Structure formats: structure tokens, C-alpha cells
Amino acid sequence: MITVATAAAVAAALTLTGCSTESSGPTGSSHGRPDAPELTVSGEFMPQPVSDMAAGFLTVRNGGGKADRLTSVTSPISDTVTIHESKGQRMRKVDSFPIPADGALALERGGSHIMFEQLKQRPKKGEKVSVELRFETSGPIRVELPVMETGYNPSKATTGETDGKDGKDGKGAPETGSGAAGGSGAPSGATDPAQSPEPADGRPAEHTSEHH
């Protein structure tokens, strides 16, 4: 009886020793491993849309030692949300964007961006649009995009530049978007699909279906 009891106690101790609970890392990370991506999001916003299309911008920073990729974006505001690369007047849908280790992916006006098509409703300035970013390695990250005026550009807002339509020499008050409600004319850079989903001439931006 003593032998049986001792064997049972040893078996139970071994079983307990072999059990462990692995805690998941923060949102956007992979269990906190030092060789895993560590993603954070900043600078997110959406210009107030002027049609049934909208663009979203943000920066994904990777503080980890391993690269990752942004593979898709979803949002309750649209059933068709894609990621695009813009060059001039051409806008190309891509399957993913790389996020380098110890680097960042910048989705900015005039360049790469998130595209929302066939909006279920047009958000207004001051509202927020919920999106979920999905990655190749890391867990999804939910972000609230604040809706700004149509012509909002954070780089100009921080430098105090304007589009020159106020008669000034490019210095002075930050750009507020001449195409916003109550403005006069199209927003600055409206012919760039990453700056405004609807060009100034009313024609949709040229799309291509080429993928990386």
C-alpha cells in the first residue's frame, strides 16, 4: 500500500510539473517573444468622404526583431476594404504591405492607404470609424479612425503650410481643406486618390488589378 501511494504521489507531481499556462502577448504581438513582431499603431485618421468611397491613413510601427506584413483590413462601414499603393494617378490594389523589424509601415496621403468602397454611410468630421488590421504573424489590432476635414493632411498641419489658395506664400494657418463643407472648390491634392477618393473632375481614379 505504501509503495502504491508513493508511486501515485510521484506521478501526480510529475503531471503538475508538466502543466503550464502560456500567456498571450499584447494585441499585435506574438506571445511576447523577443524574436517576434511588436506592433503599435499611431497617426490614424480618415478624411471626411465626398462620395461612397473613403481612404484611411495610419502608421504601424514594429518594435520587435522580426518583420511582419499587413495582409487585410476590415470595417463595419464597408464590406469592401482593401489596401492600395498610389503612384501619381494610378492606384494599385496589393495583397499585403511589409512591416520591417525595428521599422514602420506608413500609410500616408499621396501614397499607400486603406480604401473603403461602397460605404454603408458617410461618416462626418468628429466621428470615428472602427477598423481591424490583420497581419501575417501578429494578432489583429482594432483601431478607431477619427474623421477629419476632407483636406486634412497631418504633415501640413504640423508645418503650418497651406495650399496657397489664401494668397499667402505657403506659411501661416494649417490647411483646413478647401473642399470641406462650406469651403470653395476641391480640396488640395484632390486628384490624388490617396488624398481624396473622388478627383476634382468628378471621374473615379484609375484602378488596376495588378498584385505584388
Instruction: Give the integer Cα–Cα distance in Å for 104 and 59.
Output: 7
pLDDT digits (tens, 9 = 90+) for 87-114: 777 888 999 999 999 999 999 998 999 9
Q: Which residues have CB under 8 Å from 43's CB, separation 6+?
A: 57, 58, 59, 154
Asked whether the whole model's pTM tops 0.75, one would answer no
What separation in angstroms does the CA of 44 have from each of 1, 87, 175?
69, 21, 18
Q: How confident is the model at residue 170 (pLDDT cuts 50, 70, 90)?
A: very low
Instruction: Give the integer Cα–Cα distance in Å for 68 and 53.
Output: 28
Q: How much is the pLDDT for 87? A: 77
* Rg for the chain, CA atoms, rounded: 24
Bigger pLDDT: 198 or 120? 120
Q: Name all domains of the chain by residue range, CATH numbers in brackets.
A: 39-145 (2.60.40.1890)
Which whole number is the average pLDDT over 175-184?
34
Q: How much is the pLDDT for 166? A: 40
At residue 192, does pLDDT exceed 80? Answer: no
